[in-house]
């Protein structure tokens, strides 16, 4: 401990020219050793009654927030566009105090009533008990200091030696309480953060919320809110709660001491602190919004850097270095401009708060000095009054001393509250974007029987795979009609090719089939192989239906498609973070790969909530996980066997999106498809990076596996792999009219025919 090294000399602590500083409410997830040493030492010195501690090291706001930018945006990793969310405007309206308080409670409360509530409350009680203990120790030091200085003033060497020994003994006994209090607080904060991270991540992935946030640009930087803001919230909320508790106990303990010494000094203190609080609030009223915008602007700058890293090759091919440099510098300038305003506001506040701190160095001594000169009090009482005055003033002046920290914390509460409202579906911006139409119904029918919309059982054609009935598809935000009144049937081995000009809605049709787009109306009916009875699901509601047959399990929307044999292969396949084996098993067996086989270890996991990775319940029987031999065989089937020696087998770790070409990634996606053995697969230009020979080989593989497929593509060579073709014309209308599609057998379409529509 460097407890004494940062304190002023004991004999003249009350005359120090350095202002007192209460414990800082830092927003850093974990301070550096230098910061931890300085702030911890100053806090302990002040609480032990050794007089004012020097101000802690103050890092610049840019450096403080820059260290917290550690997580790239999900949109960057997925190649999506940046969210232009409500917070993206240059200025924003301030959030009122009532809303902040409501959001704070909404974000903070769930943990204390969660499955971890016993541990949480027990640890919190320990922290509170240690905090009360440290306050009691501080009161004891206050009286020790009085007697110590009395002995010094009386030149009583024997009593001075005795008090010095008492001081050293109190140090030895008191310091462990301060250390254990801080350790208990930090471990509780870490556990709270771990639970909240799990809690928010599950809600973020539930019902494809992450996709809606990105595709509809609802809020900015959800990754920053989960990683940075949750860390700042738990640490600061706990520190601030303990500061308030400590202040309340301090106020009661030291008010009696100060009032007993000289009542007018107590009145001076109250007036001084209330006036300082009012002035601080007035001078710092813009800090909350400036901190909020600084969080966003720096996250935007970091997002731009991540985009360059993820798209380095494309930028290099285009020679777009100068353009990217200018875009990044523009983003940095916006962060710089906002930070300049923040620093000016902080500077103005610091003019006042520094003067406020320095003035109190002489104020209590000046008030009680006449009593000392008249012989009414001893010299040690002056030290006692200064110590008590500083304690109580720090308690009364929390807003003055911590205004910048409180402002930054308010911005964190605002961002997390906004995110929490969105995850609950209560955010006004989300509800305003909700569809005004009935929604597209997705129904799963068993090959034996099914549940219709009125709850009755119906029989299903065993050869039927997919039915689309009167489907009208519109864009979610602009309301433009893409497809009008589409009706078709797809039976086993009916392979459908979807064609049309760019922007006509081909990929949007696949989004609707996958349940990602719900704006429009009509029915999409999947015929599931097997005997399971499934409920109707209206995907526009984002809630699983309560309807189910006795003895059967209700399906969750997020897993219906995959669990019932519907597979999707995009043009640019998603490469997961993991080994080559995990690439092949994704997504069908990803939970099995990450699930720990040691049940005993799971039962003793100190953080069990971090092991619960599933966001919905599984249904039905799952395919057995492929063996290593099967994985190697399927790699050879898609002509990727050569990558095994190249990467030293299946269990090597690489950035697969970078080390594999797009063509290799597309073949890897087909390997996943062959392993999963779905009933129906949706292919969105999934062979666009392949030559015709490899394309023909892959289509022959999935056809030989008995998989029905729907393909989107522009190549005329695709005709021979399909027996039906759906042509869609581009429509910009917002009013339903004539259908803009035509369905034909591919045998009736010549290779040269550019459009089946008659002129």
Query: Can you tell me whether residue 249 is helix, strand or coil?
Result: helix
Residue 563 reports pLDDT greater than 80: no
Question: Are 474 and 482 contacting, i.e. CB atoms less than 8 angstroms apart?
Answer: yes
Section 558-565 average pLDDT:
65
Per-residue pLDDT band for 642 (boundaries 50, 70, 90) equals very high
Section 426-444 average pLDDT:
56
pLDDT at 93: 62
CA 61 to chain centre: 21
Number of helices (H) and strands (E) in the chain: give both, helices first.
28, 13
Residue 146 reports pLDDT greater than 60: yes
Residue among 442, 429, 522 nearest 482 (CA): 522
Q: 73-76, long-range: CB within 8 Å, 24+ apart, which pairs? A: 73/221, 73/222, 73/223, 73/224, 73/299, 73/302, 73/303, 73/306, 74/210, 74/214, 74/222, 74/223, 75/214, 75/303, 76/303, 76/306, 76/307, 76/310
Instruction: State how far the alpha carbon of 566 is from the alpha carbons of 248, 324, 355, 563, 677, in Å.
Output: 61, 40, 69, 7, 9
Count CB atoms within 10 A of the CB of residue 328. 15
- What order do you get walking across the sheet with 724-728 strand by strand? 566-569, 680-684, 708-712, 496-499, 724-728, 741-745
User: Cα(381)–Cα(362) distance, rounded to whole angstroms?
Assistant: 15
Position of tokens 């008090």?
Answer: 163
**Two structure tokens written together for 561:** 């498609």
Position of tokens 């309301």?
Answer: 479
Section 409-435 average pLDDT:
70
Per-residue pLDDT band for 561 (boundaries 50, 70, 90) equals low
Q: Of 432 and 156, which is predicted with more confidence?
A: 156
Residue 616 reports pLDDT greater than 50: no
pLDDT at 732: 62
Residue 35 reports pLDDT greater than 70: no
Residue 606 reports pLDDT greater than 60: yes
pLDDT at 703: 92
**DSSP 8-state secondary structure symbol assigned to residue 687:** T
Instruction: State how far the alpha carbon of 297 is from the alpha carbons of 88, 301, 395, in Å.
Output: 8, 6, 34
CA 204 to chain centre: 8
User: Cα(504)–Cα(485) distance, rounded to whole angstroms?
Assistant: 15
Residue 317 reports pLDDT greater than 70: no
pLDDT at 545: 38
Range in 53-67, 133-147, 719-733 with the lowest mean pLDDT: 53-67
Helices (H), 433-477: none
Instruction: State how far the alpha carbon of 298 is from the alpha carbons of 335, 354, 486, 629, 630, in Å.
Output: 6, 29, 46, 48, 47
Residue 631 reports pLDDT greater than 90: yes
Per-residue pLDDT band for 168 (boundaries 50, 70, 90) equals confident
Section 129-154 average pLDDT:
82
DSSP H or E run through 440: strand 439-446
Strand 481-491 with 464-474, pairing: antiparallel
pLDDT in tens, 443-456: 888 765 554 444 44
Section 479-501 average pLDDT:
89
Question: Are 286 and 345 contacting, i.e. CB atoms less than 8 angstroms apart?
Answer: yes
Range in 53-57, 111-115, 433-437 with the lowest mean pLDDT: 53-57
CA 122 to chain centre: 27
pLDDT in tens, 78-119: 333 333 343 445 556 667 788 888 999 999 999 999 989 899
- DSSP letter string over 319-331? T-HHHHHHHHHHH
Query: Can you tell me whether residue 472 is helix, strand or coil?
Result: strand
Per-residue pLDDT band for 217 (boundaries 50, 70, 90) equals confident
Range in 118-127, 258-267, 496-505, 656-665 with the lowest mean pLDDT: 258-267
Instruction: State how far the alpha carbon of 122 is from the alpha carbons of 119, 180, 367, in Å.
Output: 5, 15, 45
pLDDT at 605: 64
Per-residue pLDDT band for 460 (boundaries 50, 70, 90) equals low
Q: Of 722 and 612, which is predicted with more confidence?
A: 722
CA 501 to chain centre: 38
φ, ψ dihedrals at 364, nearest 5°: -65, -40
φ, ψ dihedrals at 386, nearest 5°: -65, -45
- DSSP letter string over 41-83? HHHHHHHTTS-PPPPPP---HHHHHHHH--S--HHHHTTPPPP
Per-residue pLDDT band for 18 (boundaries 50, 70, 90) equals very low
Section 282-297 average pLDDT:
81
Residue 171 reports pLDDT greater than 50: yes
User: Cα(659)–Cα(169) distance, rounded to whole angstroms?
Assistant: 64
Range in 20-24, 334-338, 743-747 with the lowest mean pLDDT: 20-24
Instruction: State how far the alpha carbon of 176 is from the alpha carbons of 52, 133, 480, in Å.
Output: 21, 11, 68
**Mean pLDDT, the chain, whole residue set:** 74
User: Cα(200)–Cα(212) distance, rounded to whole angstroms?
Assistant: 15
Q: Of 759 and 751, which is predicted with more confidence?
A: 751
Residue 50 reports pLDDT greater than 50: no
Residue 380 reports pLDDT greater than 80: no
Residue 479 reports pLDDT greater than 90: no
């Amino acid at each position: 401990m460097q407890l004494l090294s940062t304190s002023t000399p004991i004999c003249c602590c009350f005359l120090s020219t350095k202002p007192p500083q209460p414990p800082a409410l830092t927003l850093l997830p974990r301070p550096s050793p230098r910061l931890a040493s300085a702030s911890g030492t100053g806090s302990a010195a002040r609480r032990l009654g050794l007089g004012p501690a020097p101000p802690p090291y103050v890092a610049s706001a840019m450096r403080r927030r820059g260290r917290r930018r550690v997580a790239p945006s999900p949109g960057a990793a997925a190649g999506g566009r940046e969210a232009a969310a409500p917070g993206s405007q240059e200025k924003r309206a301030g959030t009122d105090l009532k809303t902040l308080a409501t959001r704070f409670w909404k974000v903070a409360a769930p943990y204390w009533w969660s499955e971890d509530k016993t541990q949480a409350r027990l640890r919190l009680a320990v922290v509170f008990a240690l905090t009360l203990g440290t306050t009691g120790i501080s009161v004891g030091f206050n009286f020790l200091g009085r007697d110590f200085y009395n002995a010094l003033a009386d030149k009583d060497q024997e009593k001075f030696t005795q008090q010095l020994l008492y001081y050293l003994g109190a140090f030895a006994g008191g310091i462990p309480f301060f250390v254990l209090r801080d350790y208990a607080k930090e471990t509780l904060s870490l556990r709270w953060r771990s639970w909240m991270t799990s809690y928010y991540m599950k809600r973020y992935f539930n019902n494809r919320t992450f996709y809606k946030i990105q595709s509809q640009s609802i809020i900015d930087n959800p990754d920053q809110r989960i990683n940075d803001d949750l860390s700042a919230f738990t640490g600061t909320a706990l520190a601030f709660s303990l500061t308030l508790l400590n202040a309340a106990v301090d106020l009661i303990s030291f008010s009696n001491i100060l009032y007993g010494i000289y009542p007018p000094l107590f009145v001076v203190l109250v007036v001084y602190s209330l006036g300082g609080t009012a002035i601080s609030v007035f001078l710092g009223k813009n800090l909350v919004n400036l901190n909020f915008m600084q969080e966003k602007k720096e996250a935007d700058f970091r997002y731009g850097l991540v985009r360059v890293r993820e798209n380095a090759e494309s930028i290099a091919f285009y020679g777009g270095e100068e353009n990217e440099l200018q875009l990044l510098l523009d983003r940095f300038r916006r962060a710089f401009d906002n930070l300049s305003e923040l620093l000016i506001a902080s500077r103005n506040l610091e003019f006042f708060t520094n003067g406020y701190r320095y003035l109190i160095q002489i104020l209590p001594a000046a008030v009680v000095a006449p009593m000392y000169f008249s012989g009414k009090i001893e010299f040690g009482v002056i030290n006692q009054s200064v110590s008590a005055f500083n304690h109580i003033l720090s308690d009364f002046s929390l807003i003055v001393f911590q205004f910048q920290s409180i402002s930054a914390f308010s911005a964190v509460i605002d961002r997390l509250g906004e995110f929490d409202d969105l995850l609950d579906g209560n955010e006004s911006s989300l509800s305003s974007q909700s569809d005004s139409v009935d929604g597209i119904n997705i129904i799963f029918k068993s090959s034996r029987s099914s549940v219709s919309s009125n709850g009755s059982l119906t029989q299903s054609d065993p050869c039927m795979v997919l039915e689309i009935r009167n489907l009208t598809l519109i864009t979610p935000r602009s309301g433009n009609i893409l497809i009008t009144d589409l009706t078709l049937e797809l039976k086993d081995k009916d392979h459908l090719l979807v064609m049309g000009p760019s922007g006509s809605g081909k990929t949007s049709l696949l989004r609707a089939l996958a349940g990602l787009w719900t704006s429009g109306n009509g029915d999409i009916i999947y015929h599931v192989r097997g005997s399971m009875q499934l409920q109707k699901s209206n995907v526009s509601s984002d809630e699983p239906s309560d309807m189910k047959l006795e003895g059967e399990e209700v399906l969750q929307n997020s897993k219906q498609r995959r669990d019932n044999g519907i597979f999707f292969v995009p043009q640019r396949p998603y490469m997961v973070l993991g080994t080559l084996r995990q690439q092949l098993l994704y997504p069908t067996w990803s939970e099995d790969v990450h699930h720990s086989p040691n049940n005993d270890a799971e039962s003793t996991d100190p953080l069990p909530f971090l092991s619960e990775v599933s966001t919905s319940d599984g249904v039905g029987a799952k395919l057995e996980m492929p063996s290593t031999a099967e994985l190697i065989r399927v790699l050879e089937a898609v002509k990727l066997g050569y990558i095994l020696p190249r990467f030293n087998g299946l269990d090597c770790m690489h950035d697969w999106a970078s080390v594999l070409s797009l063509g290799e990634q597309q073949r890897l996606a087909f390997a996943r498809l062959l392993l999963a053995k779905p009933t129906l697969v949706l292919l969105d230009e999934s062979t666009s990076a392949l030559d015709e020979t490899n394309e023909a080989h892959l289509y022959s593989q999935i056809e030989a596996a008995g998989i029905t497929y729907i393909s989107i593509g522009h190549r005329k060579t695709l005709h021979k792999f399909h027996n039906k073709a759906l042509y869609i014309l581009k429509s910009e209308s917002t009013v339903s009219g004539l259908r803009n599609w035509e369905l034909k057998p591919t045998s009736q379409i010549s290779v040269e025919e550019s459009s089946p529509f008659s002129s």
